[in-house]
Structure 1
Amino acid sequence: MERMEYEARNWVLTNPILFSALWVFGAKESGPARCYRQIKNKPYPKSRFCRGVPDPKIRIYDVGMKKKGADEFPFCVHLVSWEKENVSSEALEAARIACNKYMTKSAGKDAFHLRVRVHPFHVLRINKMLSCAGADRLQTGMRGAFGKPQGVCARVAIGQVLLSVRCKDGNGNHAQEALRRAKFKFPGRQKIIVSRKWGFTKFSRTDYLKYKSENRIVPDGVNAKLLGNHGPLAARQPGTAFLTSA
């Protein structure tokens, strides 16, 4: 009986079709994300040298009223990473869903704009190990241990913004609570910081209102441009720059 089992096992392991099936269905799954949390090596993006990379789980980076102008949503709050680490695309997608779900329920689907500020470009590798019967005869341990692409993640620095939400001032508390719930989807530490800027623009609230009253602000999608004082001397008045050709 033992002799028959030994021959059957050898036949399976030497048959390329059956062995490939065992490799696909009997190989161990990827480890938990904590195995890939630390930033250790150089960036390893998808390229012609690194092929066969699976698509990231997150495919949508802007949720809500992403076409609303800068005037519509003055309040802005950020979820900021407080650690240098890798954040998987699965974690980014889970955080986006959690934040979007709470904001839709509490503030309404037309009352906010959520933006994911990091993109998963770093490729993670795994050295797959067989877990089928007789696999110990085939495994080579750490010989040739350079793994195959297994997933992607974002390399995040301390102080880097992960998520941003802009909305009206009345929904500011809802936005902070939504980001607090999204925190639980990420490893490490994060902080929720209320921005002093007007929405997603680079201008503070006082400066934005001041430039708006002077007609020096031009809408630019979710952002805004500041008009300078260039051009002819007669046109060097606030709000009249770049308007001479009209």
Structure 2
Amino acid sequence: MKGVNYREIRGMPYVRREYIAGKPQIKIARFASGQAKADYDYLVELAVTERIQIRHNSLEAARLAANKTLAQAGDMSFFARLRVYPHVLLRENKMIATAGADRLQEGMRRAFGKATGLAARVERGQTIYEAHVTKENLQLAKKAFKVASSKVGCPTITKITPLK
């Protein structure tokens, strides 16, 4: 199933994993990377501009893209953190789509479905990714967040806050 089918927030979030056998594993490898220290000059944040659900593989792709760009300055010259956690279980009621299916399958109405992935629900203006950088690496961080925003699948803005 494509991510576009889960982008819109509809209904109550389903988060009870204990009732589902074969629950999907989270694809996010790590939530924080780099060197956590106090002498950074800027806080760069990636914030979404609309209410949306973001799948866990999209969050991981954005994190990897940003970290790869930020790592050009050196692994210990920044600190980056993913600020959202994908709690919501996404389900899909799979229909038969074989060669012998000459009629459209109706299926059961409001069927429960099989767990296919995880998503994070984010509100308008919420920060999903942040990085602490020095003054020398500010332009590199802007570039990294531009690349990461293309992976998210919704309009984003980059906020820059001086820390000192």
Q: Scaled by the length of structure 2, what TM-score is found?
A: 0.90
The one-letter code of the counterpart of 2:24 is P
Residue 16 (structure 2) aligns with: 46
Between Structure 1 and Structure 2, whose CA radius of gyration is higher? 1
* CA displacement at 1:169 relative to structure 2: 1.4
* CA displacement at 1:182 relative to structure 2: 0.4
Q: 1:101 aligns with which of 68, 81, 84?
A: 68
* CA displacement at 1:109 relative to structure 2: 1.5
* CA displacement at 1:173 relative to structure 2: 1.1
C-alpha separation in 1, matches of 2:99 and 2:150:
39
* CA displacement at 1:162 relative to structure 2: 0.8
Q: 2:51 aligns with which of 62, 84, 90?
A: 84
Residue 233 (structure 1) aligns with: none
Greater relative contact order, per chain length (Cα 8 Å cut-off, separation 6+): 2
Q: Scaled by the length of structure 1, what TM-score is found?
A: 0.62
Distance 1:98 1:160, change over 3 A: same
Let me know the Cα RMSD of the aligned residues.
1.8
Count of residues in correspondence between the two structures: 163
Q: 2:87 aligns with which of 107, 121, 129?
A: 121
Q: 2:27 aligns with which of 57, 65, 86?
A: 57
The one-letter code of the counterpart of 2:122 is V
C-alpha separation in 2, matches of 1:93 and 1:62:
12
Q: 2:138 aligns with which of 149, 154, 172?
A: 172
* CA displacement at 1:150 relative to structure 2: 0.8
Aligned-partner SS, 1:192: strand
Aligned-partner SS, 1:131: coil
* CA displacement at 1:47 relative to structure 2: 3.2
- Pairing 1:1-246 to 2, within 5 Å after superposition: 31-65=1-35, 68-70=36-38, 72-105=39-72, 107-134=73-100, 141-143=107-109, 145-196=111-162, 198=163, 205=164
* CA displacement at 1:136 relative to structure 2: 6.9
- Preserved CA contact (<8 Å) 2:17 2:23: no
C-alpha separation in 1, matches of 2:150 and 2:159:
16
